Structure 1
């Protein structure tokens, strides 16, 4: 901050705070996009591979983006079976298919990684 007249101190502080908020938002958006892509790649590696199609279809995309926020979603194009694989399900013969937990660990790792990345960047 440069030399500021006492009468303009509030305006100068507000300007600096707005600049910091914009920088923070830009860094958050960039980190969220990067970690979304990394999470999709991780899920491609760790997903069940009976046919290989399910694992290959993980991707990330920006669901919404505003001036100070972003929503990045990591999803599989075969979204209908993600819940069945992650939680297990009832079979036709009355038995149960065991859960193959692969999404929850990737989500937890992404949240931790985003927090670490933001601390490093800011």
Structure 2
């Protein structure tokens, strides 16, 4: 342990807390990115593939703010169609089109473990 003069103790403590916070924030970002990539890959695999264009147009949007890390998996080209395929919809002349769940199962599969992974990152300091 280094000898620290008493007048520099507060500065050293602030620096140590800042390093820990930066390490944890980077670890959280990496963990959220990894989970989002898994959700994206699973969504593409489960999506209906009549032509394959719908499944390939899924992507990730990053929204980072002060103290927040958010990743949104969405369909960039056919975003209006996602809820119709995910939950099914009514036909014009009666009846229903069957649902093809693909986004929600992928999210539930990988996002369920995310709090435990984030807890591990925080406990380990990044």
TM-score (norm 2): 0.78
Measured against aligned partners, the alpha-carbon deviations of 1:71-110 in whole angstroms (never above 9, x if no partner) come to 2111112111110111111101111112222111111223
Per-residue deviation at 1:47? 0.8
Change (3 A) 1:12 1:105: same
Q: Structure 2: give runs of 5+ residues left out of the alignment.
A: none
RMSD of aligned Cα (Å): 2.3
Aligned residues: 121
**Alignment match, 1:37:** 37
Question: Is the aligned partner of 1:96 residue 2:109?
Answer: no
**Alignment match, 1:106:** 106
TM-score (norm 1): 0.80
The answer to which structure, 1 or 2, has the higher relative contact order (CA under 8 A, 6+ apart) is 2
Per-residue deviation at 1:115? 3.3
Q: Structure 1: give runs of 5+ residues left out of the alignment.
A: none
Measured against aligned partners, the alpha-carbon deviations of 1:28-59 in whole angstroms (never above 9, x if no partner) come to 11222232222212111111112221111111
SS of 2:111's equivalent? helix
